[in-house]
Structure 1
Amino acid sequence: MEKNQYLDMFIEESKEHLQSMNDHLLKLENNPKDSLLISEIFRSAHTLKGMAATMGYEDLASLTHQMENVLDSIRNGTVTVSSQMMDVVFESVDHLEAMVTDIENSGDGKRNVISTVQKLEKIEQGTFINEVAATVEVMKEEESDHTYNNQLPPFDDFELTVLSQSREQGFQAYYINVCLREDCILKAARVYMVFEVVEKIGEVIKSQPTVEQLEEENFELEFSITLLTKDSANEVEAKILKVSEIDSVNIITIDVDQLSNHDKNETAKDNISEVDSLENNITSDLNPVEPTSEKNNKVQQGGSLNKTIRVNIERLDSLMNLFEEIVIDRGRLEKISQDLKNNDLTETVEHMTRISGDLQNIILNMRMVPVEQVFNRFPRMVRGLAKELNKKINLEIIGADTELDRTVIDEIGDPLVHLLRNSIDHGIEKPDVRKRNNKNEEGKVTLKAYHSGNHVFIEVSDDGAGIYREKVLQKAIKNGVISKEQSDSLTDKQVYELLFSSGLSTADKISDISGRGVGLDVVKNKIESLGGSVTVDSERNKGTIFSIQLPLTLSIISVMLVELQDEIYAIPLSSIIETAIIKESEIMAAHNQRVIDFRGSVVPIIDLSTLFKVPKVREADEYHSIVIVRKGDQIAALVVDSFIGQQEIVLKALGNYLSSVFAISGATILGNGQVALIVDCNSLFK
């Protein structure tokens, strides 16, 4: 069989089944006696196993088969669902996802899962809990003997064989821990230089983190490598320290014999962190499952009557590009029709406009996908973070069926991950702290999406401690974001917005979860690059809410065409409140800024002709045409020469050479063939 013919279908369907397994496993942990949930998980695992075996991915099929056995034991009442058992099952799903990702990246889908398979076998046999409990005392007694090995990473069978054979050939194995200086700017470059040094004197067989993570700077200041060389430890250390911006180098000589003995007990050691909680659950975890109640039977079953077909996103992109050309030509035909004033031509153009409008809605709807595709991966992530931080978190997802353009969906995932991790790490307090503050020990994080006009709003909120105003101000002043004098006049809302400043993080301690000093500026930049905006509001001891506003689509937008001297500009309707005409006498001055009184509010005036340095061909008269625009709570009045009218236009990028043009987000081609620049109203607000 030609695998390439079915590979894309296999990858897509595998991802769907893995996501389904993740979703149902999370529900099963909360409803361990629900047989319908177990059946759903079993069905996904069975299908995935069959597909993997058919495609020849034996490791994937073998691990899935072992998961099936565990699920079958649960279904038959041999084993009860427990948190510790679910950790192993989730670990298995992580391996399966990694295998599918490897296959997607042209790999062979192979992965060392021996330890996980052994755990699954023990769960199936009912010995997993007993074995862990039985090793508790042994592990505690031998704790001092493992000081040496605890400093070393785990080695698989292949790596142990390499270590053993290299010793026979006269090589020495070293475990090297390298710590970079805190002021190191290009961490990945320093790592590369260290690898370049050690690879000249030996062979690196392992690194922690992985090489890919090191290249992406996905680590703090420390990393470690396992090196085979004939040089002495002192010689190795001296050569590494020649690389600049290195704080320290710690080298441990690896005793292969002691390491081999240690690894025999690795499986039991993997579970030692769970021992204290397991001791209280040994008896209950070995009891058979009770009959399923009617209440737990109410699970929405799969199966839809809708007929669907899979279409490659590249085909939809091509279709969209062709339709954009039709929109441009439609605009030109409308202009020609207006000039010629021919009834037959006018009727034909009007009919074409209606038909193309319907076609536009169909094409845009084809590209719209529910945010559920992004939201689905977060419950599993939140579960892991909660356990890691020893917190109790309840994630509530609202509006997962809200639809967004596929282009936006692909880009929104990382910002949401950052905001959720921020809420869980910084926002939600520890259970004992919440209890002292008369709160529920379980913190609540809400992820909500909804439509409003031509925008989609996504909110990430929590009922945690809120934002400390003084802490943010102190960090902002220290980092030079604002001055001490400016801080006194800022409102709470303005203080919270400072969190989006570059490099501003209020974390007291750097961790893997958040607080790396990156701050929320990365989130803001990504959202604004999508034509959206992000705001934050908070109340002490009540919680924090981040609100993201996104356009429904990025390609075709409605604008107001305006004239500046002899040039035409487009202002997105999504930013416009209203238009007006004012007299010169109505313009006032405040703090060296021209302003007007707009419905009781003082609004600054921005002359677009001056801002964009448009060549002056005629003098301004007594009256001014203005466009009132908004960004969040801020309002400004843009002065233009005249209004042309509303129109749907195709947003075209300016290209790499013009990517940094101030306050211009792109361009479009008008009906007469003229190019109009599109104003980025968000950039006009400081």
Structure 2
Amino acid sequence: MDNVNDTLLEAYLFETDSLLAELDDLLISAEQEGTFSVDETNQIFRNMHTIKGSSAMLEYHSLMEIAHHIEDLFFYIRENGMDSLSGKQRNQLFELMFDSMDTLRLEYEKVKADLPLSQDTDGLTLKINTFIKKLKGEALPTKTEVDTIDDKHSYQVLINFDTDCGMENLRAFMLVSALEGEGLAFTYSPKDVETNAASSETIIDQGFKLFFDSESLAKEAIETIKNSGSIRSYELIQPKLAAITEDEPSVTAEVNEAKPEKAIPKANIKQDLINVSLNKLDKLIAVVGEIVITESMVVAIPERLGLKDDSFLKSARQLRKLTDELQDIAMSLRMVPVSGVFQRMNRIVRDMNKSLGKNVKLTLIGSDTEVDKTIVDGISDPLMHIVRNAIDHGIESPEARLQAGKEEQPEVTLSASHTGSEVIITVTDNGQGMDTEAILKKAEKNGLLTKPADAYSKKEILSLLMLPGFSTNHEVTEYSGRGVGLDVVKKNVESIGGTVIITSEQGQGSTTTLKIPLTLAIVDGMDVSVGKEIFTLPIANIKQSFKATNTDVIRDAKGQEIIKYLNDFFPVVRLRDLLQLENGVTDMEDGILIWVESGEHSYCLFVDNLIGEQQVVVKPLPTYLNNFRIKDYGISGCTILGDGSISIILDVGGIYSAFTGDQNTRNISEV
């Protein structure tokens, strides 16, 4: 695809995705109200008209056809009002619209993935047309009408023969034979020109119509039509124009007659927003990252050479200020609200309510919270799993809630908020909660326990739910019971640097919390040293740093070092010992302790020295290191320092897992 078409495709994907998301929200809201308002009817009509036109332009016929038929449906509703529909017809309308939106979304995803589109949408379009005829009180489509139901969506060539030429049907048949001889694929109307002389009257009145799947085929046919005899005129009609029949007013004219809507921008209004490809933003972030690294190298030159120049230092400070500002601006361009992901959960809840009969209310809080676009994409599937689990596992049946004396309508609350450099997303339900005894028994039965059952705390029992293949469902349903669920959530969230925490009170409900970094590209880091090695800790994970004496450190019953600080006890993790480094201090009084926290884990990391704070560009580790499970040792990436050396970026949560043996780590000397 050339650059022009690439640009058109990007614009099409962005616009269509936005329109479909808008329609999803509109349908959920309208179904709750039991009707479409005048504004909602107009909005659906406009959105479908836009999708139809842009899909036709790019020759995405399946999308164009579905959108056109829905446009026809809402043309009728706009003209006659929702009051003309009975209660049963309204329910049928909503079901038909949800089916249509599912098919449109499926076809859109095929376009996005560069997969072939469906060649046959007759089933859905016939359902829509049949429903329209029912609303109008007309006879249902005959087989002939079904055969030609989609003709008006193709590229149409309208042909008029010379006046009084005679035998128009046979002339039309001869033209059909000539085009078929050229190997062209097409349909035509009237269809019985070969056998029915009376079809000549139809051709005289309405012309002879040829239908092609693409504009190129239609234009190729025109070359043959030009050289055919007895033809007075021919006209190529684009799909959006072919959709206008003789007994329907022009769609364009209809829009012009409608009252102005605030949602339609006028041509003379300045647009303050533009669409930018995510690939371009990725490249911008990469360039900014290289600028940050180069700036650090340049600023470090005088120090390495033992030079001192006040004017250089002043310029360096100004350069640092500008690069920091550039970083902030570049990162802000990638920040998007989580509302798009949150709103999709409405559809999941709606479908599960219908399937399971639970009438769950979904409450959204903090939808305007912004995070990196990559993070938003990464949390979509995990949230879907969690919401499904909350409804399928957590929410009781209406009868069980009644017996428990709980409010009739159950509720699932999805919320998001910022805390420093993290975004906290929680999914809370007021259902039956989790039975920790049942979870423990199932884990023991499956051989998943690593210590005696009575040694597990409540938090540890709930964390067993995220082990691969763990499921407490006794039956396989549409939504759960296949052994795939929270382990996928944990894996996906951890892949974007986040953590998952589950809490529950039996009889009251459960909460699943996701702690996710705002961005993965550039982080504020604290450089620390152990021997000759330099490591970088994300400042977001650092609580405090302090010196300690040997007498401050005591040992627990297992012989593990712990320290009391601020009236609490924390385990001490010696980075030198954990990573088995050759050099580094061993005396507590010669080094420094850094109190760090990640998720529910909090501990003190012992290192040689603090070097200083700086913003660092996160570079991924070489993929071959994945074979050595390098991340199991708390190593998440690397960065390039000002002197050109490499610093390993530490994962605070991963260090804790390696330290406690949660990941069954090997001897790191093997890496």
Give the counterpart letter for 1:667 in structure 2. C
The CA deviation string for residues 356-414 of structure 1, in whole angstroms up to 9 with x for no partner, is: 11111110001111112322322122211221222212122222221111121221111
1:321 paired to 2:289: no
Q: CA deviation at 1:113?
A: 2.7
Show the counterpart of 2:337.
370
> CA shift at 1:652, angstroms?
0.9
Maintained 8 Å contact 1:392/1:442: yes
1:477 corresponding residue in structure 2: 444
**Is the 1:42–1:71 Cα contact (8 Å) retained in structure 2?**
yes
Tell me the residue number matched to 2:460: 494
Residue 41 of structure 1 pairs with residue 38 of structure 2: no
Question: 2:634 maps to what in 1?
Answer: 663
Q: What letter is aligned with 2:85?
A: V
Aligned counterpart, 1:308: 273
Cα gap change, 1:614 to 1:530, in 2 (>3 Å): same
Moved more, 495-504 or 558-567: 495-504
2:336·2:370 contact (CA, 8 Å) conserved in 1? Answer: yes
Cα 1:122–1:467 change in 2 (3 A) is same
* Distance in 1, Cα, partners of 2:106 & 2:528: 52
Matched AA of 1:63: I
Task: Indicate if the aligned counterparts of 1:25 and 1:41 stay in contact, CA closer than 8 A.
Answer: no
Q: Which moved more, 1:642-651 or 1:122-131?
A: 122-131
Give the aligned CA root-mean-square deviation in angstroms.
2.7
CA 442–82 in structure 1, closer or farther in 2 if over 3 Å, else same: farther
TM-score, with length taken from structure 1: 0.71
Match of 2:174 in 1: none
Q: Does 1:572 align with 2:538?
A: yes
Corresponding residue of 1:103: 111
Indicate the SS of the match to 2:614: strand
- Which runs of structure 2 are paired with 1:234-383 in the superposition (5 Å)? 307-338=272-303, 339-383=306-350
Contact 2:562 2:572 in 1 (8 A): yes
Q: Is the 8 A contact 2:562 2:569 kept in 1?
A: yes
Contact 1:337–1:349 at 8 Å: present in 2 too? no
Q: Which of the residues 435, 438, 445 maps onto 1:468?
A: 435
SS in 2 for 1:685: helix
Q: Which amino acid aligns with 2:472?
A: T
Map of 1:601 onto structure 2: 568
* Matching of residues 367-406 of structure 1 within 5 Å: 367-406=334-373
Give every structure 1 segment of 4 or more consecutive aligned residues whose post-TM-superposition deviation is greater than 4 Å: 1-5, 127-132, 299-306
After TM superposition, give the deviation of residue 516 of structure 1 in Å.
1.4
Q: Quote the residue 2:608 is aligned against.
A: 641
Of residues 11-20 and 54-63 in structure 1, the stretch that sits farther from structure 2 once superposed is 54-63
Alignment equivalent of 1:680, drawn from 635, 651, 654: 651
Pick the aligned partner of 2:529 from 554, 563, 566: 563
1:61 shift after superposition: 2.3
Which of 27, 30, 38 aligns to 1:28? It is 30
Structure 1 residue 477, shift from structure 2 partner: 1.6
- Whichever residue aligns with residue 548 of structure 1, its letter is L
Q: Quick check: 1:79 aligned with 2:85?
A: yes
8 Å CA contact retained: 1:20, 1:41: no
| Matched AA of 2:72 | N
CA contact (8 A) 1:29 1:82 kept: no
Whole-Å separation in 2 of the counterparts to 1:70 and 1:443: 35
Written as runs of structure 1 = structure 2, the 5 A alignment for 1:526-565 is: 526-565=492-531
Larger Cα-atom Rg: 2
> Amino acid of the residue matched to residue 94 of structure 1?
D
Distance 1:302 1:545 in 2: 41
Q: For residue 89 of structure 1, what is the amino acid of its counterpart?
A: M
Deviations 1:309-333 (A, max 9, x none): 2211111111111111111122223
Residue 531 of structure 1: SS of its match in structure 2? coil
Q: CA deviation at 1:127?
A: 6.0
Partner residue of 1:278? none
Aligned residues with identical type, % of pairs:
33
How far residue 632 of structure 1 moved from its aligned partner, in angstroms, is 2.6
1:435-486 alpha-carbon deviations (Å, 9 max, x no partner)? 222233332111111111111111111111111111111112222232673x
Matching of residue 629 in structure 1 with residue 601 in structure 2: no
* Partner residue, 1:259: none
Q: Partner residue of 1:585?
A: 551
| Corresponding position of 1:218 | none
Partner of 2:128: 120
Question: C-alpha offsets along residues 254-276 of structure 1, whole Å, 9 cap, x if unaligned?
Answer: xxxxxxxxxxxxxxxxxxxxxxx
Gaps of 5+ in 2: 141-145, 148-260, 658-671
Structure 2 CA distance, aligned partners of 1:450 and 1:576?
A: 20
Alignment check: 8 A CA contact 1:501 1:519 kept: no
Secondary structure, aligned partner of 2:591: strand
Deviates more, 1:322-331 or 1:371-380: 371-380
Distance (whole Å) between structure 1 residues aligned to residue 588 and residue 570 of structure 2: 21
Looking at structure 1, the residues matched to 18 and 408 of structure 2 have their Cα atoms a distance apart, in angstroms, of: 34
Distance 2:123 2:484 in 1: 36
Which position in structure 1 is the counterpart of 2:156? none
Which of 440, 452, 469 in structure 1 is aligned with 2:419? Answer: 452
Q: Distance in 2 between matches of 1:523 and 1:550?
A: 13
Q: Where do 1:43-62 residues align within 5 Å?
A: 43-62=46-65
Residue aligned with 2:383, SS = helix
Could you tell me which residue of structure 2 aligns to residue 262 of structure 1? none
2:548/2:588 contact within 8 Å kept: no
Secondary structure at 1:126's aligned position in 2?
A: helix
The one-letter code matched in structure 1 to 2:293 is: I
Question: Contact 2:468–2:483 at 8 Å: present in 1 too?
Answer: no
Post-superposition shift, 1:427?
1.0
Deviation of 1:543 (Å): 1.2
Measure, in 2, the Cα distance between the counterparts of 1:108 and 1:617.
59
CA shift for structure 1 position 59: 3.5
Q: Which amino acid aligns with 1:540?
A: Q
**2:475 corresponding residue in structure 1:** 509
Structure 1 distance, partners of 2:498, 2:130, is: 51
Give the Cα separation in 1 of the matches to 2:139 and 2:413: 39
SS in 1 for 2:547: strand
Unmatched runs of 5 consecutive residues or more in structure 1 = 133-155, 158-298
Alpha-carbon distance in 2 for matches of 1:613, 1:6? 55
What's the CA shift string for 1:483-529, capped at 9, x where partnerless?
673x3243333322221223221111122312211241221122122
